[in-house]
Chains A and B, each alone.
Chain A
Amino acid sequence: MSIINYASREIQFKIVYYGPALCGKTTNLNYIHQRINPRNRGDLVSLATATERTLFFDFLPLNAVVIKGFVTKFQLYTVPGQVIYNATRQLVLRSVDGIVFVADSQWEKMEENVESFSNLVENLARQHMSIEEVPCVLEYNKRDLPNIAPINYMEYVLNNNKKRLQSFEGISSTGQNVFAVLNAVSQILLHKFSKQSEAPHATPPSPGIPADNVIPENKRARA
């Protein structure tokens, strides 16, 4: 749950990167940490195993001035993607304000994507929240790999709910659309708390990706 402190004129928001194992959640945070001005961020904290698999969570605090008169603190978390760590995912989701669901675009990962998204919906329900209420965007990651599913298929599989979510193609290893995704979820959650509660781009105009965020075919790196 976000909280505002009038004495320090600060607002805090918690954004969680969710998705199946090895989909690129930590890579998103690593890229943001590397690229953002050190004055506007804290240290990246990773609670990971010796093989760099997330054990508990990764955490990155960011500061920005986006609301007149207040410093806005965004706290970015990842969850461990491995199926066995569901109890940990529930803990990290506690008090969440916004979610980035990172999907792995490879064909063989589609079942894991669907399972992880269902798991997200279930874990939100445990907190009496629903995917329709929580600001959420989809990041179809690893678009540079050769064996990827078409975007329309991913939309059909993951974004076929009552409320369509904003979605982006991404390559988190090179930073493609990493900031676009973060900006999108931040704007949606900020507008949720504003007096005009409808987010400007909460519903995409048509199935698929916002035109500005599609990676042209000739710019997609191939493995």
Chain B
Amino acid sequence: MNPIPALTIQDVATLDGALADFLKKTDSDLTIVIDRGGNVISQFGDMDLMDVTIIAALAAGSFAATRELARRIGEVEFNALYHQGNGNHVFMNSVDDDTIMITVFGSRTTVGLVRFYSADAAQRVASILKSLRRNSHGLAFDAKDISTASIFADP
């Protein structure tokens, strides 16, 4: 049996609290916490803006790719990345060895403000995740709960 790492409702509420505080202070649109494999751990803000799953996969790829670039100039990694658009922008910062935080923001705020508060938010998120990993919950469901029908069908 291989339990799946699980976030309880309380864990998600704690993470959401930290992310909500960060969004309020920075007036950003959306923030997503992902692992470096591209899985979404938590998200907060206006989820209708975009497909969060795709943003997570691309951001994990972008972060990983620039890590190699950082190594070429003698750094372990770039601990923050900023992609500037015309109206919408993305800021990404490292939370810990396994986790990245992505912030999407528009013209109501500035990259300086996002960058300033992201350091504190990342520390809070890292501390929460560290505690979660220490007291990790796991889920292993019953085999009978898995649908026996074809999961995906060719219509």
**Contact bitstring B12-51, A, C-beta under 8 A = 1, else 0:** 1100000000000000000000011111111000000001
Classify chain B: how many residues form its interface, as a range: 35 or more
Q: Which of A1, A5, A43, A77 contacts B12 (CB 8 A)?
A: A5
Q: Are A56 and B65 in contact, with the CB atoms below 8 A? A: yes
**Which parts of B129-152 form the interface with A (CB within 8 Å)?**
139-143, 145-147, 150-152
Q: Which of B5, B9, B140 contacts A7 (CB 8 A)?
A: B9
Q: Are A75 and B53 in contact, with the CB atoms below 8 A? A: yes
Q: Are A59 and B54 in contact, with the CB atoms below 8 A? A: yes
How distant is A201 from chain B, measured CB to nearest CB, in Å?
12
Classify chain A: how many residues form its interface, as a range: 35 or more
Residues of B within 8 A of A197 (CB): 1-2
Q: Are A195 and B39 in contact, with the CB atoms below 8 A? A: no
Cα(A186)–Cα(B27), bound, Å: 40
Cα(A196)–Cα(B145), bound, Å: 11
Indicate if B70 sits at the interface (CB-CB under 8 A).
no
Q: Are A4 and B154 in contact, with the CB atoms below 8 A? A: no
Q: Are B35 and A1 in contact, with the CB atoms below 8 A? A: yes
> Which residues of B approach A to under 8 Å, CB–CB?
1-9, 11-13, 35-42, 51, 53-54, 57-58, 60-61, 64-65, 68, 139-143, 145-147, 150-155
A-B contact pairs, 16 of them (CB 8 A): A1-B5, A1-B35, A4-B6, A4-B139, A6-B6, A6-B7, A7-B12, A12-B40, A43-B54, A56-B61, A64-B152, A73-B53, A94-B37, A95-B38, A193-B1, A196-B1
